[in-house]
Structure 1
Amino acid sequence: MIQAADIREWRDQDVVDPKGHKIGVLEAVYVDTATDEPAVATVRAGLPTRHRLVFVPLDETVLGPGYLKVAYARSRVKKAPSIGTDDVLPAEQEKEIFQYYGMAYRPGVHGERQLARR
Structure 2
Amino acid sequence: MIRPADIREWRTHDVLDAEGRRIGSLEAVYVDTSTDEPAFATVLVGLPTRHRLVFVPLKDAVLGPDYVKVSYPKGLVKSAPSMGTDDVLPAEEEKAVFTHYDLPYQPGVNGERQLARP
TM surpasses 0.5: yes
* Post-superposition offset of 1:6: 1.2
List alignment gaps of at least 5 residues for structure 1.
none
Q: Give the share of equivalent positions with the same residue, in percent.
A: 69
List alignment gaps of at least 5 residues for structure 2.
none
Partners in 2 of 1:13 and 1:107 — Cα distance? Answer: 30
Provide runs of 4+ in structure 1 moved above 6 Å. none
Secondary structure at 2:9 match in 1: helix
Q: How many residues align?
A: 118
Alignment of 1:31-110 (within 5 A): 31-110=31-110
Aligned partner letter, 2:116? A
TM-score norm. by structure 2 comes to 0.97
TM-score norm. by structure 1 comes to 0.97
Secondary structure at 1:10 match in 2: coil
Aligned Cα root-mean-square deviation (Å)? 0.8
Does 1:17 find its partner at 2:17? yes
* Post-superposition offset of 1:10: 1.0
Partners in 2 of 1:11 and 1:34 — Cα distance? Answer: 23
